Amino acid sequence: RKYVYDFAEGNKDLKDLLGGKGANLAEMTNLGLPVPPGFTITTEACQEYLATGREPDGLADQVAAHLAALERAMGRCLGDPDDPLLVSVRSGAKFSMPGMMETVLNVGLNDRSVVGLARQAAGSGEQADPAGADRFAWDSYRRLIQMFGKTVCEVPGEEFEHALDDVKRARGIRDDVELDADDLRGLVDAYKKIFRKHTGRDFPQEPREQLDLAVRAVFDSWNAERAVLYRRQERIPASLGTAVNVVAMVFGNLGPDSGTGVAFTRDPASGAQGIYGDYLANAQGEDVVAGIRNTIPLQELERLDKRSYDELLDIMARLERHYRDLCDIEFTIERGKLWMLQTRVGKRTAAAAFVIAGQLVDEGLIDLDEALHRVNGAQLAQLMFPRFQLDHEFQAVARGIGASPGAAVGQVVFTSARAVELAAEGKRVILVRRETNPDDLQGMIAAQGILTSRGGKTSHAAVVARGMGKTCVSGADALEVDVPARRFTVAGQTVAEGDVVSIDGTTGNIYLGEVPVMPSEVVQYFEGTLDPERTDDALVRAVHRIMGHADQRRRLAVRANADTGADAARARRFGAQGIGLCRTEHMFLGERRELVERLILARTDDEREKALAALLPLQRADFVEIFREMDGLPVTVRLIDPPLHEFLPPLEQLAVNVAVAQERGEDVAQEEALLAAVRRMHEENPMLGLRGVRLGLVIPGLFAMQVRAITEAAVQCARDGVTARPEIMVPLVGAVQELETVRAEAERIIAEVVGGSGVEVLIGTMIEVPRAALTAGQIAEAAQFFSFGTNDLTQMGWGFSRDDVEGAFFWRYLELGIFGISPFESLDRDGVGRLVRIAAEEGRAARPDLKLGVCGEHGGDPDSVHFFHEVGLDYVSCSPFRVPVARLEAGRAAV
Ligand code: ADP
Ligand code: MG
Ligand code: MG
C-alpha cells in the first residue's frame, strides 16, 4: 500500500487521502508555484495507526525513501551537522480542524546541527553576519524544543514561557528579538531541563526520531478531546483521520529581507476585490497569528520588496483563476525569495459568498449554475436577520458559539423567574446562565436571547433556542457566571443584573451596552423597498441575480404558510406562488371564542346551528381577504385542526372561578355548564385525541360551515373579478373512509354554492398520520391533492411530542449523536422521509395527476427541500420569511 505521496504526485481532488493542506500543496507544486519540496503521509496511514496502535508496515521505509528524495532535491541531509536540512511536520485533515496538533517547525535541529545552521546562515563575503546568524540558529532551536515539547510530549507550555520571561527579566529587556545568541543558548539549556523533567528523557537528538515522534503525535491528535468535540459538533465523521505533511523549512526570520504573511485574494468579509493580508518582517510562521508583534498591511510589502510583492500578486491571481474561487494563502520570504506554504478555498461570510459568486460570474470564471452551488439557503437566511451596526466604539468583550442566529439586546438576568418578571414589565432581557436546563424554559421564552458560558451547538440552550427561533450564544467560556450573586465577569469587567448587553447569534460575539440594530437590506430587497437595479449595494445585486437564476432553474414551486391577508401579501412579495397552508384555527380566537363556546355547549341542533351561522360570515370575510391577496394563485385552506377544548379556558382556572363564585353565592349555572364541558372534553393525550378530521365527523355542521364559507368567499371574489383558487384540505386523515365521508358532504355544498360562477374548488388531504402514508394508494382515490404535514408525521412517526421533547431530552440525544440534527429541524430521510416517498409513489400510481406538496416546517429547511425535490413533489410551503430560502434551495436542487 502506498502511504506516502510526494507533493508532485498529488492534486487538489485528493483531499480524502492527502487532507486539505496536502492536496493543495500538491496542486500548487504542479502549477509550478514556488512550494518548498515535501511529502504527505496519507490519512489511510493514520486510520491504520489509530485502529492498530502502531504505524502500518512499510510506512517507515516509505518515509525513508521520500525523505532521501527530499534530501537529494535540497542537496542537504536532515539534521546534517554541517548544513542541515530542516523540515516542518504539519497536520492536515480533509476539513480544517482546531484542536488537532499544531505544526512543529525546525525538525532536524540538535546540539550539533544548530552550529551548522548558524554557519550556513551567516553567508560569506560582505553580506556575512555571523552574530545575526548565530542568534537565528539558536532561536530556531529553542523554538523546536518548545513546540516539540508542547505538542508532541505534552510538556506544559507555560513552563517554557516562564523560562523565557526569566531570561528577559534578568537581562532587562521586553522584546524577544532583543535576546542575543548567548541568551538563547542559555534558554536552550533551560528548555532541555524542562523537557527532561516532564518526559523523563533527554530531548531527542536523532533527527529521524524527532520526525517519527512528531508524525505519531499528529496521528494521536486526531483523538484529542477538543478535536473529538469539534468533530461531533460539525458532524465530521470520526473515521476520516488526518494526513501529515513534511515540508522543507524556509526561513522568514533570517533578517529584514525575510518575513512571513497571510493573505486573501478578496475580502472574506464583504467579498470586495482587493489585496487583503498581513505581513511581518523577520519572523517565522506562527508569529503572524500569535500577535507577538504588530503586523503591517500586505500592501506595504510593495515598498519593502517589490519583486516578491509583484510575484505574490501574480500568484494570487493565478490561484483564483485556477480554483475559480476566493483563496487564502500563507507565504514566507527567505532573503528575497518567495515561498508558498499553504492555500485553500477561503472561508467567507454569507454576504461575501453571494458577492463573490456574482463577481466570478462577471469575470467569466463560473456560470450561474455554478454560482448557485457557491451559496446556500443557510447563508441567505443569515442575511435576512437584522444585524448589529458596529461602529468602532463597540468591541466584542468575548466570543462564544453562534448557536442560534439573530441580534439580541437586553438587560441581563440570571434566573428564569426574573426573566419572566421583567419581560412582563415590557423590558427586553437576555437570560445568562452557565448552562440551561428544562427549568429555564419559561425564562427562555420571555427573553430576547440566551447567553451561556458552557456547552456547544448541541447544548440544551442551543437546541431549544433554535427550536424557538430565538437568538443564542452558547459556550462563551470567558464569562464567569455567578448566578447567586446575579452577575458575571468578563475581561476584568463585572456585569450585574439589569446591565445591558448585546449578543450576536451568528458570530457568537458579545458586546457590553446597547449596540444599534439595523434591518437587513436583503429583506428590504425582498419586500420591494430596495430596487436591485438602482442600488449600489453589491450584496443586493448579487442576491437578486442569483435568486433570479434559482427561480429559472427550479422545478419545485414554493408556497407560503399564511393565515391572514397581511401574511399572504408579504409571502407574495417574497415570491410565494400560492398558499400551501392557511390554518383556520386563529379564526376562532379573540372575540369569536365566545361563539365557539356556544357551539361546544349547544344542547340542541338549533342552538348549534345558530352558533355556526354566526361564525359563517366572519370566516367568509377572512377568506375573501386572503383570496384577494392571492388573486390567481392557489390557496390551500386547512379545515379546523386542534382539539376544541383549546378554545375553552383551562380546567383548573375554571374550577377555581366556579368555586369562588359559589362561595359568594353567585349564580354559576353558565360557568358550571362550561366546567362540565371542559371536564368532558379533557384528554390525556390531546395530540392523539379528538382533533382534525375526527372533529369534523363528530361535531355536526362544523366542517360544512367552513366549506361553505370558503366557497362563498371564492364566488364573491369571482364576482369582483378576483380569481380565487381554493383547495380544501382535510387534516389528520388516517383512512380513506374518513375522507370519503367529509368529501361527500363538502361536494354537495360546493356544487350548491358554486352555481354558474366558474369557481373550481379542489378537495384533498394532509398526509400526517403514518397510516395515511402507508395507505396512500387508497386515500388518493378520494383526494385531488396531498400535502405532507411533516411536523405531525415526525411526531407520530417517532412517537414523541415536539412540545415536550425539545427541552426534555433532545439536547442529550444530539450530544450522544443519536441525532445529527433535530428531526423537527431537518427531515429524517430514512424514517419519516421513507413514509413521504411511499405515499408520493403510491398516491401518484393511483391518481397520476395527484398534486403533491409539503406544508410542515421542513418546507423551508435547505436539506429537506432537496429531499422533496428528489421524491418529486410539486411544491413546498413554508413560513413567508423562509420562502426565499426555499426558492434558492429548490434552484440548487435542480442544477
Ligand atoms: P496551521 O494549519 O495552524 O496554519 P501550518 O501547518 O499551516 O498550521 O503551519 C503553521 C505556521 O508555520 C504557518 O504560518 C506556516 O506558514 C508555517 N510553516 C509551516 N511549514 C513551514 C515551512 N516548511 N517553512 C516555513 N514555515 C512553515
Ligand atoms: Mg496554515
Ligand atoms: Mg398536523
Q: What is the CATH classification number for the domain harbouring 560? A: 3.20.20.60
Tell me how far CA of residue 334 lies from CA of 142, 257, 275, in angstroms. Answer: 20, 7, 21
Residue of the CA atom closest to atom 8 of ligand 1? 103
Q: Is 88 in the pocket of ligand 1 (CB under 6 A)?
A: yes
Domain-terminating residue out of 297, 316, 345: 345
Note down the domain range covering 391.
383-518
Instruction: Say if 218 falls within a structural domain.
Output: no
Whether residues 824 and 738 fall in one domain:
yes
Whether residues 514 and 569 fall in one domain:
no
Task: Give residue 233's pLDDT.
Answer: 66
Instruction: Say if 840 falls within a structural domain.
Output: yes
Task: Give residue 733's pLDDT.
Answer: 98
Residues 6+ apart with CB under 8 A from 432: 412, 413, 414, 451, 452, 479, 481, 488, 501
Instruction: Say if 338 falls within a structural domain.
Output: yes
Cα 792 to ligand 3 centre (Å): 5
410's grid cell = 437586553
Nearest to 105 by CA among 245, 291, 225, 264: 245
Q: Is 36 in the pocket of ligand 1 (CB under 6 A)?
A: yes
Say if residue 536 carries a ligand binding annotation. Answer: no
Q: How far apart are CA 391 and CA 351, in angstroms?
A: 18
Residue of the CA atom closest to atom 27 of ligand 1? 285
Whether residues 301 and 398 fall in one domain:
no
Whether residues 469 and 602 fall in one domain:
no
Instruction: Say if 673 falls within a structural domain.
Output: no
pTM: 0.87
Set 855, 858, 866, 878: catalytic member: 855
Cα 113 to ligand 1 centre (Å): 21
- Whether the CB-CB separation of 369 and 499 falls below 8 Å is answered with no
Nearest to 619 by CA among 596, 644, 598: 596
User: How many structural domains compose the chain?
Assistant: 3
Say if residue 829 carries a ligand binding annotation. Answer: no
Cα 210 to ligand 3 centre (Å): 64
Q: Which of 24, 25, 88 to mutate to test the pocket of ligand 1 (most atoms within 8 A of CB)?
A: 88
Q: Which of 106, 279, 342 to mutate to test the pocket of ligand 1 (most atoms within 8 A of CB)?
A: 342
Instruction: Say if 654 falls within a structural domain.
Output: no
Domain-terminating residue out of 327, 345, 363: 345
| Strand, coil or helix: 359 | helix
Whether residues 593 and 475 fall in one domain:
no
Residue of the CA atom closest to atom 18 of ligand 1? 285
For cell 450573586, the residue is 485
Task: Give residue 290's pLDDT.
Answer: 62
Q: Which of 286, 337, 344 to mutate to test the pocket of ligand 1 (most atoms within 8 A of CB)?
A: 286
Q: Is 286 in the pocket of ligand 1 (CB under 6 A)?
A: yes
751's grid cell = 356544487
13's grid cell = 481532488
Task: Give residue 70's pLDDT.
Answer: 96
HSE (CB half, 13 Å, CA atoms) of 701? 17
Rg (CA), the chain: 34
Q: What angle do CA 277, 136, 124 make, to 5 degrees?
A: 105
Task: Give residue 555's pLDDT.
Answer: 98
Strands (E), 185-272: 242-248, 259-266
Which residue type is seen at 376?
Answer: N
Say if residue 792 carries a ligand binding annotation. Answer: yes
Please indicate whether residue 855 is annotated as part of the active site.
Answer: yes
Q: Is 40 in the pocket of ligand 1 (CB under 6 A)?
A: no
- Whether the CB-CB separation of 790 and 856 falls below 8 Å is answered with yes
Cα 358 to ligand 2 centre (Å): 28
Task: Give residue 231's pLDDT.
Answer: 83
| Strand, coil or helix: 269 | coil
Residue of the CA atom closest to atom 7 of ligand 1? 342
Whether residues 710 and 762 fall in one domain:
yes
Whether residues 486 and 573 fall in one domain:
no
Q: What is the CATH number of the domain that holds 465?
A: 3.50.30.10
Whether residues 340 and 388 fall in one domain:
no
Domain-terminating residue out of 288, 315, 345: 345
Whether residues 638 and 772 fall in one domain:
yes
Whether residues 495 and 604 fall in one domain:
no
Whether residues 410 and 337 fall in one domain:
no
In which residue ranges of the chain is pLDDT below 50? none
Task: Give residue 292's pLDDT.
Answer: 62
Q: Is 285 in the pocket of ligand 1 (CB under 6 A)?
A: yes
Set 460, 549, 645, 869: catalytic member: 460
Q: What is the CATH number of the domain that holds 306?
A: 3.30.470.20
Whether residues 787 and 712 fall in one domain:
yes
Dmax over CA atoms of the chain, in Å, equals 114
Q: How far apart are CA 544 and CA 373, in angstroms?
A: 16
